[in-house]
Amino acid sequence: MKSLALVLVLVAVTGCKAKQSAPKKQKPVAGLTDVEIKRGEDACKTYVDKVCACAAQKPDQAELAKQCQLAKSLPEAMQIALSVAMHPDTKPEVAQQSYDSARTTIGSCIEETAKLPALGCN
């Protein structure tokens, strides 16, 4: 009976240690390269410059003026997302969300720049 109790205790202790020592598998964070960051910065700067220049040329189009004002926040939004993602205390899932946010912002800059010719902007 004592040997059965000892075996049960050993199994329980071994099982608990196995659960504790098993590391959590985390997917690696898909960050942005320096080249991607530079291209994103350039894309957002280009969009801001173009939409604001067009708004200045067409002051009668209130929508362009509104787009210009909104566009000015995109470079800062991208920088905030990147600074959160790259902070050493940021959890991996938050870092991934922040990188995804930066990618979305970059995509918006590119897409909105592509729409400008349809609004009569060069």
What per-residue confidence (pLDDT) applies to 2? 46
The values of phi and psi at residue 33, to 5°, are -80, 165
| 121: its two tokens | 């902007």
What per-residue confidence (pLDDT) applies to 98? 97
| H or E element in which residue 61 lies | none
| 50: its two tokens | 């173009």
What per-residue confidence (pLDDT) applies to 4? 37
For the chain, the three-class secondary structure string (H helix, E strand, C coil) is: CHHHHHHHHHHHHHHHHHHHHCCCCCCCCCCCCHHHHHHHHHHHHHHHHHHHHHHHHCCCCHHHHHHHHHHCCHHHHHHHHHHHHHCCCCCHHHHHHHHHHHHHHHHHHHHHHHHHHHHCCC
Mean pLDDT of 40-52: 97
Which residue would you say has higher pLDDT here, 92 or 8? 92
Mean pLDDT of 51-80: 96
Residue 50 pLDDT exceeds 80: yes
What per-residue confidence (pLDDT) applies to 3? 44
What per-residue confidence (pLDDT) applies to 71? 97
pLDDT band at 25 (very low <50, low <70, confident <90, very high): low
What per-residue confidence (pLDDT) applies to 29? 82
What per-residue confidence (pLDDT) applies to 5? 38
Cα–Cα distance between 19 and 66 in angstroms, integer? 56
Residue 87 pLDDT exceeds 90: yes
What per-residue confidence (pLDDT) applies to 65? 95
